[in-house]
C-alpha cells in the first residue's frame, strides 16, 4: 500500500477525520466563493450547522452547470495567481468546465493517484506506459504524476500513433498500461495485426478508466493482453483520476479514498440520501481540495456503495462499477437504455468483435436506433452470414433491452477505433428533427 496508515484507518477514525475536514472545507468555501455563499444563504444553511456528517444532507447540491455559469474562475477559493495549473473539459455543448489546482492540490492529486496505482498492483520501479491523453483532459497528467510519485518509470506516450505504441510496449518492456479501455482494445488489435503476440509482452497490469466499461470487456482485455485489468475512477470536477480504484486482490468495487472525499448515494429523482447498498447517483464532497472545493457534487454516475470488509485490508468503502452515467442514458421510445448494457451483450456474443456504435435517428415521430457491430476477424463474411448474424443479434437485443432496433453487421475492421474516449453514440435526432 502507498499509505497504509491512511488506507487502513478504522471507520470511527475515518468519520472523525471526515467531519473535521468537512467543516474546514465548507467554511473556507463559504468565506471565499460568493456563489457558494449565496447558495448556502438561500438554502438557510451555514458552515457551523455541520455538527455531524449527517447534517450535510441539508446542504444544497453542486451541479456541473454551476461551473459553466461561473466560467471561467468564479468557483475558485483562491486568486488566479495562486493556481499552478488549469484543466478543462472538452465542452461538447457550450462553455467548457474549468478546474484549477494550487500547489497543495497537485501534491494531493499525485498522492491519490500513486495510492490508486499501488492499489491496482503497480509497484515502484515498474515501467508505466501512459496512453491517456495529455493536455486539458486530466487523464494523462494525472496518471503521469501519480506514477512518478509512486517511483515508476513513466512513458508519457499519450493517445494515438497506435503502431508506435505497440513497438514501445515491446521495446521498453512496459509492466503497466494506463489508458481508456476502448483504446487498450485498439492497441491489442493493432498489435495482433502487426503479428505481435500481445500475451507475450511483459505487461502485468492495465489501469483503465475515463469511460464506463463492462465486466465482459474486462474479461476480453485480460485475455488479449494476459493481464489483470483494473478499474480506475475519477472526474475532473473532483480532482481527476484517482478518486477511487479497484484493488488487485479483489477486483470487485473501487475503494473510494474517504479521507479526502465524502461519498453519498442519492435517489436522482427525490434527491434523498439512500442507505448504503442501494443503487443511485453518486454524490461527492471534497474534504481537502484547496482551489476548487466541491460540496455535494452530483456526478450523474449510477452505482452503489459497499461497506463490507475487503480482503485487501483497506477500510475505505467500495464504489461498485459504474454502469453508466445518467447523462449517457438513452431514452428510446420511452425506454431507458444504457450503452454499457449493449456493450456487455455484444462483447459476450460469439463471433463478434467488441466494437459497436449506436446511431439514433428519428423516423417520423418515433425514435429509431440502429446498432452497428463488427464481426470477429476469423468469422465468415459473406452476405448471407452477415444477414443471419444481424437477425440473431436483433432478436437477442430486443429481448434484453425491450427495444426493436436495426442491426447492421459489418466486416472485421469496418468500425472506427477509439483513439482515447470512445464515441459510442451518434445522436442524429436533434439535427434530423
Interacting residues toward Zn ion by CB under 5 A: 247, 250, 310, 312, 314
Phi, then psi, of 326 in degrees rounded to 5: -50, -40
Our CB check for Zn ion shows the closer of 255 and 410 to be: 255
* Neighbour order of strands in the sheet with 176-179: 153-155, 127-130, 176-179, 205-208, 228-235, 240-246, 254-256, 318-319, 305-306
CA 260 to chain centre: 18
250 vs 423, beta carbon nearer Zn ion: 250
In the complex, what is the shortest distance from the CB of residue 43 to Zn ion, in angstroms, rounded to a whole number? 37
Closest distance to Zn ion from the beta carbon of 415 (Å): 36
166, 190 Cβ separation under 8 angstroms: yes
Question: In 44-180, which residue ranges form alpha helices assigned H by DSSP?
Answer: 64-69, 103-119, 138-150, 162-171
Minimum distance, C-beta of residue 246 to Zn ion, in the bound complex (Å): 8
Helix (H, G, I), strand (E, B) or coil at 208: strand
**Closest CB to Zn ion among 120 and 217?**
120
Q: How far is the CB of 255 from Zn ion (least distance, A)?
A: 6
Give ∠ CA 227-228-232 in degrees, rounded to 5: 125
Looking at beta carbons only, is 310 or 322 nearer to Zn ion?
310
Least CB distance from residue 151 to Zn ion, whole Å? 22
Distance, C-alpha 202 to centroid of its chain: 26
Q: Nearest distance from residue 322's CB to Zn ion, in Å?
A: 17
Nearer to Zn ion, 245 or 369 (CB): 245
Nearer to Zn ion, 1 or 271 (CB): 1
d(CA 108, CA 149): 11
| Strand-pair category, 366-375 with 352-363 | antiparallel
CB of 112 to Zn ion, least distance (A): 16
Q: Where are the alpha helices (DSSP H) in 33-93?
A: 34-43, 64-69
CB distance 295 to 57 below 8 Å: no
User: Would you state the torsion angle of the CA atoms of residues 124, 125, 127, 130, taken in this order, to the nearest 10 degrees?
Assistant: 30
Q: Which residues contact 430 (CB under 8 A, 6 or more apart)?
A: none
Measured from the CB atom, the residue of 117 and 347 that comes closer to Zn ion is 117
Measured from the CB atom, the residue of 50 and 117 that comes closer to Zn ion is 117
Q: Taking the complex as a whole, how short is the minimal distance between the CB of residue 8 and Zn ion, in angstroms?
A: 11
- Shortest Cβ 110–Zn ion spacing (Å): 22
In the bound state with Zn ion, the residue whose beta carbon lies nearer, of 116 and 299, is: 116
Burial class (CB in 10 A: 0-12, 13-18, 19+), 62: buried
Amino acid at each position: 500500500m502507498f499509505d497504509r496508515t491512511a488506507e487502513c484507518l478504522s471507520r470511527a477514525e475515518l468519520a472523525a477525520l471526515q467531519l473535521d475536514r468537512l467543516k474546514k472545507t465548507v467554511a473556507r468555501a463559504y468565506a471565499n466563493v460568493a456563489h457558494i455563499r449565496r447558495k448556502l444563504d438561500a438554502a438557510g444553511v451555514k458552515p457551523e450547522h455541520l455538527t455531524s456528517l449527517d447534517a450535510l444532507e441539508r446542504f444544497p447540491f453542486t451541479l456541473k452547470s454551476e461551473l459553466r455559469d461561473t466560467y471561467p474562475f468564479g468557483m475558485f477559493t483562491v486568486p488566479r495567481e495562486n493556481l499552478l495549473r488549469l484543466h478543462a473539459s472538452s465542452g461538447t455543448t457550450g462553455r467548457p468546465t474549468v478546474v484549477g489546482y494550487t500547489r497543495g492540490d497537485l501534491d494531493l492529486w499525485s498522492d491519490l493517484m500513486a495510492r490508486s496505482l499501488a492499489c491496482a498492483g503497480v509497484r515502484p520501479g515498474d515501467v508505466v506506459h501512459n496512453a491517456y491523453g495529455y493536455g486539458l483532459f486530466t487523464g494523462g497528467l494525472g496518471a503521469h504524476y501519480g506514477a512518478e510519485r509512486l517511483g515508476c518509470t513513466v512513458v508519457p506516450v499519450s493517445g494515438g500513433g497506435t503502431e508506435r505504441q505497440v513497438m514501445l510496449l515491446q521495446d521498453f518492456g512496459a509492466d503497466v498500461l494506463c489508458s481508456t479501455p476502448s483504446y487498450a482494445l485498439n492497441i491489442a488489435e493493432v498489435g495482433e495485426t502487426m503479428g505481435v503476440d500481445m500475451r507475450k509482452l511483459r505487461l502485468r497490469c492495465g489501469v483503465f478508466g475515463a469511460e464506463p466499461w463492462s465486466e465482459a470487456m474486462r474479461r476480453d482485455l485480460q485475455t488479449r493482453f494476459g493481464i489483470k485489468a483494473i478499474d480506475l475512477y475519477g472526474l475532473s470536477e473532483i480532482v481527476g483520476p484517482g478518486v477511487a480504484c479497484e484493488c488487485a486482490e479483489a477486483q470487485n468495487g473501487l475503494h473510494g479514498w474517504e479521507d479526502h472525499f465524502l461519498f453519498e448515494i442519492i435517489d436522482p429523482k427525490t434527491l434523498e440520501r439512500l442507505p448504503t447498498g442501494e443503487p443511485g447517483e453518486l454524490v461527492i464532497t471534497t474534504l481537502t481540495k484547496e482551489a476548487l472545493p466541491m460540496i455535494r457534487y452530483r456526478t450523474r454516475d449510477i452505482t452503489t456503495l459497499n461497506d463490507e470488509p475487503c480482503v485487501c485490508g483497506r477500510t475505505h468503502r467500495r464504489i461498485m462499477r459504474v454502469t453508466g452515467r445518467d447523462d449517457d442514458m438513452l431514452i428510446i421510445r420511452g425506454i431507458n437504455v444504457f450503452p454499457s448494457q449493449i456493450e456487455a451483450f455484444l462483447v459476450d456474443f460469439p463471433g463478434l468483435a467488441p466494437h459497436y456504435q449506436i446511431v439514433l435517428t428519428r423516423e417520423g415521430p418515433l425514435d429509431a436506433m440502429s446498432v452497428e457491430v463488427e464481426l470477429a476477424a476469423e468469422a465468415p463474411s459473406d452476405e448471407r452470414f452477415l444477414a443471419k448474424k444481424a437477425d440473431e443479434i436483433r432478436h437477442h437485443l430486443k429481448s434484453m433491452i425491450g427495444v426493436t432496433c436495426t442491426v447492421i453487421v459489418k466486416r472485421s475492421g469496418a468500425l472506427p477505433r477509439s483513439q482515447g474516449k470512445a464515441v459510442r453514440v451518434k445522436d442524429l435526432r436533434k439535427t434530423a428533427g
